[in-house]
Amino acid sequence: MPVTPPAHVAVLGLGLIGGSLLRRLADLGIAVTGYDADPATRAAARHILDGGRIADSVAATVADADLLVLAVPLPAAGPVLDEIRAAGYTGLLTDVTSVKGPLRDLAAEHCPDARWLGGHPMAGTAASGFAASDPDLFDGCAWVLCLEPETALDDWLRLAALVTGLGARAVPATADDHDAAVARISHAPHVVAAALVTGASAGEQGPLALALGAGSFRDGTRVAATRPALTAAMCGGNAAALRTVLDALLEQVSEVRRLLDEPDPVTALTGWFTPAHTVRASWPASPGSAEHVAAERAELLALGRAGGWVTSVAADGRVVMASTPPPSAPPL
Amino acid sequence: MPVTPPAHVAVLGLGLIGGSLLRRLADLGIAVTGYDADPATRAAARHILDGGRIADSVAATVADADLLVLAVPLPAAGPVLDEIRAAGYTGLLTDVTSVKGPLRDLAAEHCPDARWLGGHPMAGTAASGFAASDPDLFDGCAWVLCLEPETALDDWLRLAALVTGLGARAVPATADDHDAAVARISHAPHVVAAALVTGASAGEQGPLALALGAGSFRDGTRVAATRPALTAAMCGGNAAALRTVLDALLEQVSEVRRLLDEPDPVTALTGWFTPAHTVRASWPASPGSAEHVAAERAELLALGRAGGWVTSVAADGRVVMASTPPPSAPPL
């Protein structure tokens, strides 16, 4: 299946992710148009990029594009999708928000004539906004691209060709599998970080505890410094998946609580800590093997579920798949 | 009250902490003798230090010392304390283990004629053993020194003079307050890190989740890579304090679980995340003021409970106390 990468990419929303993407695409010589609702952000973007590449309306931005990247925060997605529809856009549409199920539903409701294919680059920094944008932000990051039953395989390959061209690893997954995964590796860690801070600082014993905090507290609570509105939007937007993960977490912590009452808690706890140690000590996984294969839907989904990714897409549609070895037990 | 710092320090156990301490003291020109039960560790220490400073028995190590630092893991403390008693040592004795109540009880049982004054430098790295030792390990770290009702104030000041001379901040606290604090800022973070890894990697959805893990997963689970036996000994050795902290943590996470079911979870969660954000965004605290004062027991304990520390001890016993401002709310 021949793959034609997008020729003209429009980016709507020029924050950290949208701004970084626009700059990287421009650096690669790909035709781009960018837009942000904030005039000051547009002005800042015009300082960095050729001024003609920043448009003053959604309609002007999408006019010549064959790929639209929605890079606005989740609460703004519905209204911007309405503007995209009003502009008559019916091509390929992706996004970069941290939850995919809600975006899928918003796209179907507000912009049903465009072909939505959700995306999520697992990249970010504590900073936000165009001023923090960085064309190298996506180097080596995992970039989820949703492969739903209704997704055309050649659309998926076009987007995978684009994001692997930026240096990212394209991970095929359904929106629901994505949302379950990020509840585990991002949203639950944010909840736990805040709970640790609240517990550490509570009551009369708080000041001494905070004064003694060192490496494990610093790293374990780093993301509690994220703006509460951002964290709440992320967690609240993925409530169903996060519920399941928090229930499992409550069970795990309750189990430790019980093991502390065992006659020999140290032995019991050693057993409890060991599986997590085995997994974490071999994370992140190194790619175990790479295969050049003709892309098939079922194979791509199986690759993503197995923790693998696509590293490149050739013009004939053949892809390079990298799989990962399962974690093996290092010596205790 | 005139303060005479220890003239000859013996360090028993030359792992990361003991080895780093011995090397730093020797660099400062303080008379030291070191010992480790492992002949290979003694040989390694003799390569770095003047060979005459490494003794071949506990008795030979403690012979000329006026301060003994017990730097062995908790399970080895009882037997080594027996050897110290058998050697006839009756001077000042401190330790560097991560729990203080159990050490207080072991010292009272196994070595009642020495004057125990517990210590805990909040320093460490992922590595362990003499090979990882580093004379600069204690620069700027908080070093708890136990101030119990039975502790002689001049002993506390002698030790505070020593550890502040190494570049550490001396934090006065009772053993019980210390143990409650480290359950909050170290032991609970270790439990939670392992629980996050176990949750992320569980079942068929584990490989995809691990492949998507980025910054919040990396930092939030870093300490899950610690050797399980070490983590279990630390948590099991502080079971009573850790129980209380885990109960509070379970309540916090259950509260988030409930807020996800609210009609407007994002607003409810924003309210829940905000206090932790306020605390974490202004952590670690900068010293707000420094005072030169004559050291009194009650003032020192109040300083520690308020999150402050001692930065130096003068020969006349006056100390410099640094207090910290309470966290203030930064703009959301």
The pLDDT mean for chain B works out to: 93
**Which ranges in A28-131 belong to alpha helices (H)?**
39-48, 58-62, 74-86, 101-110
Quick one: B51 and B194 in the same domain? no
Quick one: A126 and A149 in the same domain? yes
| Interchain contact, B222 vs A219, CB within 8 Å | yes
Residue B283 lies in a domain: no
pLDDT band at residue A290 using 50, 70 and 90 as cut-offs = confident
Which of A148, A173, A198 delimits the end of a domain?
A: A173
Quick one: B162 and B191 in the same domain? no
Model confidence over B212-266: pLDDT tens digits?
A: 999 999 999 999 999 999 899 999 999 999 999 999 999 999 999 999 999 999 9
Residue bearing tokens 């035709």: A31
Q: Which of B236, B240, B200, B203 is nearest to B220 (CA)?
A: B200
Quick one: A59 and A205 in the same domain? no
The answer, yes or no, to whether residue B330 has pLDDT greater than 90, is: no
Instruction: Provide the domain limits for residue B293.
Output: 289-323
Model confidence over A38-96: pLDDT tens digits?
A: 999 999 999 999 877 999 999 999 999 999 999 998 889 999 999 999 999 999 999 99
With beta carbons under 8 A apart, name residues in chain B contacting A275. 198
Quick one: B32 and B120 in the same domain? yes
Residue range A223-238: average pLDDT?
Answer: 93
Q: Which of B66, B157, B79, B155 is nearest to B111 (CA)?
A: B79
Model confidence over B272-297: pLDDT tens digits?
A: 999 999 999 999 988 777 888 888 99
Rounded to whole angstroms, how far apart are CA atoms A304 and A113?
A: 28
Alpha-carbon gap: B92 to the closest alpha carbon of chain A (Å): 24
Give the pLDDT of residue A126.
65
Residue A21 lies in a domain: yes
With beta carbons under 8 A apart, name residues in chain B contacting A245. 199
The percentage of chain B sitting over the pLDDT mark of 70, rounded to a whole number, equals 97
| Interchain contact, A239 vs B260, CB within 8 Å | yes
Quick one: B26 and B163 in the same domain? yes
The answer, yes or no, to whether residue A294 has pLDDT greater than 90, is: no
Q: Are strands B119-121 and B142-146 parallel, antiparallel or unpaired?
A: antiparallel
Residue A94 lies in a domain: yes
Alpha-carbon gap: B127 to the closest alpha carbon of chain A (Å): 13
The answer, yes or no, to whether residue A118 has pLDDT greater than 60, is: yes
Highest mean pLDDT (candidates A116-125, A288-297, B287-296):
A116-125
Residue range A189-200: average pLDDT?
Answer: 98
Q: What's the number of domains chain A is made of?
A: 2
Residue range A207-220: average pLDDT?
Answer: 96
pLDDT band at residue A280 using 50, 70 and 90 as cut-offs = very high
The answer, yes or no, to whether residue A267 has pLDDT greater than 70, is: yes
| Interchain contact, A256 vs B191, CB within 8 Å | yes
What is the ipTM metric for this complex? 0.95
Alpha-carbon gap: B208 to the closest alpha carbon of chain A (Å): 4
Model confidence over A135-186: pLDDT tens digits?
A: 999 999 999 999 999 999 999 999 999 999 999 999 999 999 999 999 999 9
Quick one: A99 and A188 in the same domain? no
Residue range B173-187: average pLDDT?
Answer: 98
Q: Is B175 helix (H, G, I), strand (E, B) or coil?
A: helix
CB B141 within 8 A of CB A214: yes
Q: A–B: how many Cβ contacts below 8 A?
A: 373
Quick one: B98 and B59 in the same domain? yes
Quick one: B192 and B85 in the same domain? no
Strand ordering across the sheet containing B119-121: B119-121, B142-146, B169-173, B309-313, B318-323, B289-294
The answer, yes or no, to whether residue B118 has pLDDT greater than 60, is: yes
Give the CA distances from residue A215 to residues A51, A203, A230, B136, in Å, rounded to whole numbers and listed in that order: 45, 22, 25, 16
Alpha-carbon gap: B56 to the closest alpha carbon of chain A (Å): 29
Which of A149, A173, A197 delimits the end of a domain?
A: A173
Residue B151 lies in a domain: yes
With beta carbons under 8 A apart, name residues in chain B contacting A237. 266
With beta carbons under 8 A apart, name residues in chain A contacting B236. 260, 265-266, 268-269
Quick one: A188 and A164 in the same domain? no
CATH number assigned to the domain comprising residue A214? 1.10.3660.10
